[in-house]
């Protein structure tokens, strides 16, 4: 997929390496965080595909999947010990908390670029290098379905309308200049995550994505949108349920009412 970067928007006020990729100063560069719950049919194929796509390490965070996803993740970590790691959680604790746990892992281990990605092939691993490159000029990058060049082929009309309306609604309430606030394919520079109080993030699902972008933008970080094509999942069932949509509608108003001052940078 050919894609071009959409300019970074700052806050108005201001052949595959055998080992983990590193920056010139020797620290690790890029980590892909993949939360899983019942993704046994996808994960075993996805991990090697990501590793072949570029210098990326992978952290799988499994919420005690009853279909054996956690066991598959452990086997992959044994197969690729320098590039794949697994965190096992005791139950289904939510997407947002999984990513927060992954961010903590990434920061503690010195990763410079940290990415979110679904486990079901809806996010094309071939696009990771585009997101990675966008972080040369931005602090946060959103893989956007709703900028020129992006899309979601195969989606039913109701789902496309729901997604676009949800993003437009959140952007209007929070006064954000971005088109795809519910995208789960995104990346952060280390310093942007380190500046946030991640322990205070309580959102899950779509609302987590909105909250993270909102916090980064309010803290003055440059946010870029690059086009992606969002594909239908290969196997398994969608995790989209009505309460996730309702939560997102409520969270944007909580964020607007709270409107915290810029968080102290560390």
pLDDT, position 222 = 98
Q: What is the pTM of this model?
A: 0.86
pLDDT, position 6 = 55
pLDDT, position 78 = 98
Domain range list for the chain: 22-256
CATH topology of domain 22-256: Spore Coat Polysaccharide Biosynthesis Protein SpsA; Chain A (3.90.550)
CB neighbour burial string for 198-234, b if at least 16 within 10 angstroms, e if fewer: beebebbbbbbbbbbbbbbbbbbbbbbbbbbbbbebe
Give the three-state DSSP class for 76.
helix
Half-sphere exposure (CA, 13 Å, Cβ side) for 176?
34
- From the first residue on, what is the mean pLDDT of each consecutive set of 10 residues in the chain (266 residues)? 48 41 60 97 96 97 97 98 97 94 97 96 96 98 94 76 84 95 96 96 86 96 96 55 63 79 48
What residues contact 167, with CB distance under 8 A and at least 6 apart? 146, 178, 179, 180, 181, 182
Which residues sit opposite 34 in a β-bridge?
Answer: 60
Distance of CA 35 to the CA centre of its chain: 10
pLDDT, position 114 = 98
pLDDT, position 167 = 86
pLDDT, position 263 = 59
Secondary structure element (H or E) that encloses residue 160, with its range: helix 157-174
pLDDT, position 166 = 83
Q: In what order do the strands lie in the sheet with 223-227?
A: 6-9, 223-227, 140-144, 186-189, 113-116, 30-36, 56-62, 84-88
pLDDT, position 265 = 45
Name the token pair of 245. 């949509």
């Amino acid at each position: 997929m050919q894609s071009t970067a959409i300019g970074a928007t700052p806050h108005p006020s201001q052949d595959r390496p055998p080992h983990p990729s590193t920056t010139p100063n020797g620290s690790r560069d890029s980590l892909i965080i993949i939360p899983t719950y019942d993704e046994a049919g996808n994960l075993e194929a996805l991990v090697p595909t990501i590793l072949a796509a570029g210098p990326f390490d992978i952290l799988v965070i499994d919420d005690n999947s009853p279909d054996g996803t956690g066991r598959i993740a452990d086997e992959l970590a044994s197969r690729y010990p320098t590039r794949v790691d697994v965190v096992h959680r005791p139950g289904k604790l939510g997407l947002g908390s999984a990513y927060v746990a992954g961010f903590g892992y990434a920061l503690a281990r010195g990763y410079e670029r940290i990415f979110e990605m679904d486990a079901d092939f809806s996010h094309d691993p071939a696009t990771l290098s585009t997101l990675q490159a966008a972080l040369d000029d931005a602090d946060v990058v959103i893989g956007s379905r709703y900028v020129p060049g992006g899309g979601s082929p195969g989606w039913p009309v109701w789902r496309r309308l729901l997604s676009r309306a949800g993003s437009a609604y959140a952007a209007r309430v929070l006064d954000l200049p971005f088109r795809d606030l519910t995208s789960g394919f995104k990346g952060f520079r280390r310093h942007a995550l380190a500046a946030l109080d991640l322990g205070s993030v309580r959102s899950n699902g779509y609302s987590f994505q909105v909250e993270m972008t909102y916090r980064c933008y309010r803290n003055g970080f440059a946010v870029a949108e690059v086009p992606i094509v969002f594909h239908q999942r290969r196997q398994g069932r969608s995790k989209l349920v009505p309460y996730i949509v309702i939560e997102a509608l409520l969270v944007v108003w909580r964020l607007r009412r709270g409107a915290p001052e810029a968080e102290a940078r560390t």
